[in-house]
Amino acid sequence: MRIVLAGTGSAVGKTTISTGIMKALSNEMNVQSFKIGPDYIDPSYHSLATNNPPRNLDSFFMNEDQLKLSFDRGMKIAKADIGIIEGVRGLYEGISPTGDIGSTASVAKALDAPVILIMNAKSLVKSAAALVLGFKALDTEVKIEGVILNKIKGKRHYLKAKEAVETLSDVKVIGAIPRDDDLEVKERHLGLVPALEQERIANDIDKWSKVVKEYIDLDALKEIAKSSPKIKINKKTELWNTNNKKTTRIGIARDEVFNFYYTENFESLEDNNAKLTYFSPFKDEELPDVDALYIGGGYPEIFAKELEANESMKLAIKKFHNDNKPIYGECGGLIYLSKSIDGFKTCDILPYPSQMTDKVQGLSYVIAKSNEDNLISQKGEVFRGHEFHYTKLCIDEKDVNSANFAFDIERGRGIINKQDGLSVGNTLANYIHLHACSCPNLAYNFTKNINEL
């Protein structure tokens, strides 16, 4: 049983409504959430609402068979009753103006999942029906089975818009959310404020859930979800390489600062016999007893002062590096491993300072090719990822040629001059965020190289 909650565009309230639905249904059934697209932040809300680890689906990272297997695997691990899939941007927005790749529609079609459109219906009545008709007509393979109207002025507005949509587009309206500024979600430079950083968000999710219960027909939503047919899995499909049989111990930096990780990345490491231990560069004074470190993305620039103050942790990570033990850093991990963040001293493993900027420095899907063997890939290997950051690593042009970059960027920006994957000893750090399905040898190569060092 599955359903896709898709927006008609931006600012439609998709995340608040989707999360509210997840929370409301979680009171009566086991809900597994999925987020379409390269996103860590919306899924952190989902996890708080469902009490299940969040998961991502992305047709740029995964082929159709992988999308099916990844969804099926997630449902089985959670023993979930229903899979609720929140879309990205508008239903049909992808990486090209006319193609499907990267869009919500591509995932909905791959999973043969019914779609409920979430629409900002402010000041719309008959035009709301026109929007639904247009979305239906653009791709008849997408099964639009319901509509939720948001930002409705009152009962009169609701009844008129409902009549227009149901009569003219032949799609059932299953709910209408009134205008309420309290239902807006705070934002920050990388999008929605991560749930792991905000204790109060749990109260907000409860509020969204109550609104959903009052204004959305959840029984109708469940009936639509029940109409989804059984997914046929290709038995030859693999999500990632699982050939490493030797045990490794990996320390994962995971706290209020570093929390941009895909659940699937952890699972791919565990499938390669890695034992994961979580630690906090923000709060802990020493590292756990491990063979390697994985420092993911997050907000080290926001917590630069606190990270600088934790001198014992910085020294422990620097010693770990000097002892030639492997460290892998992504985005926020990259700048924490740099010399400093906006003047605040950090680990000083990468010999360059980093700084926060006012403008986005990287916002793109990425295709990269390894130009040498490294911690996570072999020479010639091509893999996909994404980048989204406002920071930059400050490398002078005169120093570029002496720096060792493991990746050539074929699509995207990287650290500098279409290069990424800065390598210093056994430390590798990049701006690219990788998903285990988009770089299927990531966990295998990392665990294998840990054992061989």
We report the CATH number of the domain holding residue 377 as: 3.40.50.880
Do 393 and 440 reside in the same domain of the chain? Answer: yes
Average of per-residue pLDDT across 424-437? 97
Tell me the per-residue pLDDT of 11-37, one tens digit each, with 9 for 90 and over. Answer: 788 999 999 999 999 999 999 999 999
Assigned domain for 259 exists: yes
Do 198 and 269 reside in the same domain of the chain? Answer: no
Mean pLDDT is lowest, of 146-155, 173-182, 290-299, 373-382, for 173-182
Q: Looking at residue 155, which CATH number applies to its domain?
A: 3.40.50.300
What gap in Å lies between CA 445 and CA 244, rounded to an integer? 8
C-alpha gyration radius of the chain: 23
136-170 in b/e form (b: 16+ CB < 10 A) is beebeebbbbbbbbbbbeeeebbeebbebbeeebe
Which percentage of the chain shows pLDDT scores above 70? 96
Annotated catalytic, 439? no
pLDDT of residue 186: 57
pLDDT of residue 194: 61
Total domains, the chain: 2
Average of per-residue pLDDT across 36-56? 93
> How do 248-253 and 405-411 pair as beta strands?
unpaired
Assigned domain for 448 exists: yes
What gap in Å lies between CA 117 and CA 221, rounded to an integer? 12
pLDDT of residue 385: 97
Do 430 and 372 reside in the same domain of the chain? Answer: yes
Do 269 and 151 reside in the same domain of the chain? Answer: no
pLDDT of residue 197: 55
DSSP code for 433: B
pLDDT of residue 453: 76
Residue 192 pLDDT grade (very low, low, confident, very high; cuts 50, 70, 90): low
Assigned domain for 131 exists: yes
Do 197 and 119 reside in the same domain of the chain? Answer: yes
Tell me the per-residue pLDDT of 100-126, one tens digit each, with 9 for 90 and over. Answer: 999 999 999 999 999 999 999 999 999
- pLDDT at 80 exceeding the cut of 80: yes
Strand extents, DSSP E, 213-257 = 248-253
Assigned domain for 238 exists: no
Do 164 and 70 reside in the same domain of the chain? Answer: yes
Do 140 and 260 reside in the same domain of the chain? Answer: no
Assigned domain for 232 exists: no
Mean pLDDT is lowest, of 42-51, 66-75, 109-118, 177-186, for 177-186
- pLDDT at 193 exceeding the cut of 70: no
Q: Which of 331, 347, 437, 439 is catalytic?
A: 331
The dihedral over CA atoms of 379, 381, 384, 385, expressed in degrees to the nearest 10, equals: -30
**Secondary-structure percent of the chain, ordered helix, strand, coil, rounded to 5:** 35, 25, 40
Do 101 and 177 reside in the same domain of the chain? Answer: yes
Assigned domain for 20 exists: yes
Rounded (5°) CA angle 367-372-373: 105
Do 315 and 387 reside in the same domain of the chain? Answer: yes
Assigned domain for 260 exists: yes
pLDDT of residue 179: 86
* Boundary residue ending a domain (164, 196, 226): 226
- Mean pLDDT over all residues of the chain? 94
Do 180 and 78 reside in the same domain of the chain? Answer: yes
Do 52 and 167 reside in the same domain of the chain? Answer: yes
Those residues with Cβ within 8 angstroms of residue 253's Cβ, 6 or more apart along the chain or in another chain: 278, 279, 280, 281, 293, 294, 295, 296, 333, 336
Which residue segment(s) compose the domain that 67 sits in? 2-226
- pLDDT at 61 exceeding the cut of 80: yes
Do 270 and 361 reside in the same domain of the chain? Answer: yes
Task: For residue 431, report the phi and psi dihedrals to the nearest 5 degrees.
Answer: -80, -20
pLDDT of residue 267: 98
Global pTM reads 0.94
